[in-house]
Amino acid sequence: MAFAERVRHLVPEGAYYMLARAQALEAEGREIIHLEIGQPDVATFENVAAAGVWAIQEGYTRYTPPAGIPALRRAIAEDAGRRRGMQVEPAQVVVGPGAKPALFFPTLALVRPGDEVLYPDPGFPTYAAMIGVAGGVPVPVPLREEEDFSFDLATFDRLVSERTRMVVLNSPSNPTGGVLGLAALEHIAEVARERDLWVLSDEIYARLAFDGRPAPSIASLPGMREHTVICDGFSKTYAMTGWRLGYGIMPEALAERVELLLTHSIGCTAAFTQQAGLEALQGPQEQAEAVVAEYQRRRDVLVAGLNGMPGVRCRTPQGAFYVFPNVKAWRMSTSERTSNEVADYLLEEAGVAVLPGSAFGTYGEGYLRLCFANSMENIEKALERMAGALGSARCQPPNSSGGGGSRMRGRGRP
């Protein structure tokens, strides 16, 4: 079939691929621990779910204004502005079904064919996809383990050119859990102001920051309001992944364009979902805060467990709910074992579903992504099973006497 150029590069998201494989094994009777998909293990908070049910019963089941109901836009402006220490007007807020539209539509509105867009690698797969659909040229900027997966600023400076139109940031980051510090943000902001660039700042994990250290937003730096699109949402903070509710915050003129894109594509976001979102923002916040403390406990157990395994090295993430351990010692440097093959092996041998780092870009090769939004019991069980599988005779690090490894060769990539 002849497809338009703009969709030819699209491939499935690795997380969905691995979930389907894990589910196929479950259908055969295997018990799988799911550390692959990035969503909270807790149910949507009771008050929020109740508000959604109430809204359906009360008839909030019709079209709404494309950019969202005014009460929700106001509540988002107040909440998002206060948390970032900046003034946000409701007219700057565009509500959508999930955070993804706040990535995709501003990109469509701003990026012209041939424009270059810098984005983090390893990074959320939607970035390269949306840049390509817009006709832009994706330019990966490496996140390096040695720098706690912060932006590599020297490479960033080298890659910025006359053709650069936009820079995508994601802090806290999926898949690394890295947080961009103020110094890095100031550096990027200075370049953006000087060269009149747009910054698309994906802050969907902003509320999931650990050790009492909040992740700063580049939008709050001087002069950056006119250069920044913030992408945020309800999926991760309020355990609402399936409700589909997110938003973008951007200069008013851009918000009007993005609203038109919403008008002519999705129409609007479900009315009852928006009512539930209103309750999420205006109701009690204790549960959202308690969940962060619990994630931090799980992070610590997972990081310690991984670092105790031979051939595995894991940094302590400062945010989000992912760890990104380095498993290069498993002979992957010779490309004998890709991270894809290690992930495959762990799924089949240990019944633990994780994602290969390569699902997040070239610089993710040699790493795995594990999501710790799962019960402590499952995390401990997964660690035990992984230690067993990685220590078995069939999968030995390079300097061990084990050998073998044939099971892990020649597997297909997602």
Neighbours of 65 (CB within 10 A): 14
Nearer to ligand PLP, 116 or 202 (CB): 202
Q: Which stretch in 23-31, 47-55, 98-106, 113-121 sits in contact with ligand PLP by CB under 6 A?
A: 98-106
Considering only residues 255-274, where is the footprint of ligand PLP by CB under 6 A? none
User: Tell me, what amino acid is at 176?
Assistant: T
Which listed residue (119, 124, 151, 367) binds ligand PLP by CB under 6 A? 124
Sheet holding 322-323, edge to edge: 322-323, 368-371, 355-356
Q: Closest residue (Cβ) to ligand PLP?
A: 98
Nearer to ligand PLP, 134 or 350 (CB): 134
Alpha carbon distance, N-terminus to C-terminus of the chain: 22
Considering only residues 210-249, where is the footprint of ligand PLP by CB under 6 A? 233, 235, 241, 246
Which residues contact residue 99 at a Cβ distance below 8 angstroms, ignoring those fewer than 6 apart?
202, 204, 231, 232, 233, 235, 246, 247
The footprint of ligand PLP on this chain (CB under 6 A) covers a number of residues equal to 13
Instruction: Supply 276's token pair.
Output: 């539930």
Nearer to ligand PLP, 368 or 383 (CB): 368
Q: Is 99 in the site for ligand PLP (CB under 6 A)?
A: yes
Q: Which stretch in 42-50, 65-73, 93-101, 295-303 sits in contact with ligand PLP by CB under 6 A?
A: 93-101
Measured between alpha carbons, how far is 352 from 291 in angstroms, rounded to an integer? Answer: 23
Nearer to ligand PLP, 47 or 241 (CB): 241
* CA distances for 193 relative to 178, 179, 223, 229, angstroms: 24, 22, 7, 14
Q: What are phi and psi of 220, to 5 degrees?
A: -85, -5
For the bound state, the minimum distance from the C-beta of residue 308 to ligand PLP, rounded and expressed in Å, comes to 28
Q: Is 202 in the site for ligand PLP (CB under 6 A)?
A: yes
**Burial tier of 137 (Cβ tally within 10 Å: 0-12, 13-18, 19+):** middle
For the bound state, the minimum distance from the C-beta of residue 388 to ligand PLP, rounded and expressed in Å, comes to 30
Number of separate helices (H) and strands (E) present in the chain = 13, 13
For the bound state, the minimum distance from the C-beta of residue 168 to ligand PLP, rounded and expressed in Å, comes to 10
Q: Is 150 in the site for ligand PLP (CB under 6 A)?
A: no
262-287 as b/e: b if 16+ CB within 10 A: beeebebbbbbbbbbbbbbbebeeee
Q: Which stretch in 96-104, 188-196, 251-259, 372-380 sits in contact with ligand PLP by CB under 6 A?
A: 96-104
Q: What are phi and psi of 196, to 5 degrees?
A: 55, 55
For the bound state, the minimum distance from the C-beta of residue 331 to ligand PLP, rounded and expressed in Å, comes to 30
Which listed residue (21, 73, 100, 337) binds ligand PLP by CB under 6 A? 100
Q: What are phi and psi of 395, to 5 degrees?
A: -145, 90
Nearer to ligand PLP, 138 or 246 (CB): 246
Q: Is 174 in the site for ligand PLP (CB under 6 A)?
A: yes
Q: Is 98 in the site for ligand PLP (CB under 6 A)?
A: yes
For the bound state, the minimum distance from the C-beta of residue 236 to ligand PLP, rounded and expressed in Å, comes to 7
Measured between alpha carbons, how far is 257 from 254 in angstroms, rounded to an integer? Answer: 5
Q: Is 67 in the site for ligand PLP (CB under 6 A)?
A: no
Q: CB-side exposure of 266: number of CA atoms within 13 Å? A: 24
Which listed residue (38, 177, 178, 317) binds ligand PLP by CB under 6 A? 38
Taking a C-beta distance cutoff of 8 angstroms, is the pair 345, 331 a contact? no
For the bound state, the minimum distance from the C-beta of residue 237 to ligand PLP, rounded and expressed in Å, comes to 10
* Paired strand residues for 356: 368
Q: Which stretch in 46-54, 94-102, 187-195, 356-364 sits in contact with ligand PLP by CB under 6 A?
A: 94-102
For the bound state, the minimum distance from the C-beta of residue 371 to ligand PLP, rounded and expressed in Å, comes to 10
For the bound state, the minimum distance from the C-beta of residue 9 to ligand PLP, rounded and expressed in Å, comes to 19
Judged by the rule CB under 6 A, the positions of this chain that interact with ligand PLP are 38, 98-100, 124, 170, 174, 202, 204, 233, 235, 241, 246
